[in-house]
Amino acid sequence: MSDNKKALSEEKLSMAESSTQMNELDKQLAQWQSAYKDATPSVDTDALIKETKSARFKLKLKGAVDLVLGLAVSMWCLTLVLFEPLSTYQFLLFIVLTPIPAAFGAWGYWVRQKQWKVQTLDVQSMLAFKQNQLKQQLHYWKISLYGCLALWCGLLALAVFNVLMFNAFTLWGTQLLINSVVVFIVYRRYKKLAADLPSALAKIDDMK
């Protein structure tokens, strides 16, 4: 009997120690979970869904504006080619410039269309959508900058020709100045987006 009591006592002691160890492990696990939650930013799903829907609408609107403006500028250039008395040099220059705005508008629409058609079925895909949107936005403004510079160079050549041949300094100087302002604005926009992109992507990565 004495041996049985001793064995039972040792078994109870062992169970008590095991229970204590389990409680300590549970407490440690709870602390780890709490620390993980504190370190992990919470994602407001409803707000993220609204932002995604708003971003899709803006992409569609911007794509339509790009396409319409591009076609309008190309039509204006084509009108000059067909109905204005241009010199051979001016005629060739406008022939070259005419398709550029329409092509750029179509490209802008295509880029934005690819973005708004991306499926966003869960939080991770919506966050990936936001990251891709930021990258594509920077790419769009980079190409826009190159396009504006190309058009500015064409306008500069046309302005120099008209100033030298027809002494039309005021008209072409004003147009060149206006387009220089446009190029500067596009450049500043591109540089700002390029500077902000790493931190914006890192912020989204922290939410994943």
CA angle 12, 15, 17 (to 5 degrees): 110
pLDDT at residue 25 greater than cutoff 70 = no
Residues 155, 176: Cα–Cα separation, whole Å: 7
pTM of the model: 0.68
Q: Please give the backbone phi and psi of residue 120, each rounded to the nearest 5 degrees, phi first.
A: -130, 90
Residues 125, 73: Cα–Cα separation, whole Å: 37
For the segment 137-178, what is each residue's pLDDT rounded down to a tens digit?
999 999 999 988 988 888 888 788 878 877 778 878 888 898
Highest mean pLDDT among 120-124, 185-189, 200-204: 185-189
